[in-house]
Amino acid sequence: MARICDITGKTSQVGGRYSNRVRATQFNPTGKVRRHPNLQKHRVFIPETGKTVVVTASVKGMRNIKKNGALSTLKKAGLV
């Protein structure tokens, strides 16, 4: 299963891990690191339809559901 937020579309990012000493010497022994989004499985109840949907959403996506409502957010994401 891909690590993608169903609501916001967030995926993992590749970044560097540097210390200040590494910056000073222009030498990079650490390489790259992959940073994953904070994904949670969450059951969302939609009161307008009376159904429950399971979504894999980032915490920011769950905050969007809380702010804008379940039905409108899931419709915008194409899940309902």
- Spell out the domain ranges in the chain: 13-77
pTM of the complete model: 0.73
13-77: CATH topology is Ribosomal Protein L24e; Chain: T; (2.30.170)
3-state secondary structure string, the chain?
CCCCCCCCCCCCEEEECCCHHHHHHCCCCCCEEEECCCEEEEEEEECCCCEEEEEEEEHHHHHHHHHHCHHHHHHHHCCC
pLDDT range class, residue 26, cuts 50, 70, 90: low
pLDDT in tens, 45-69: 999 999 999 999 999 999 999 999 9
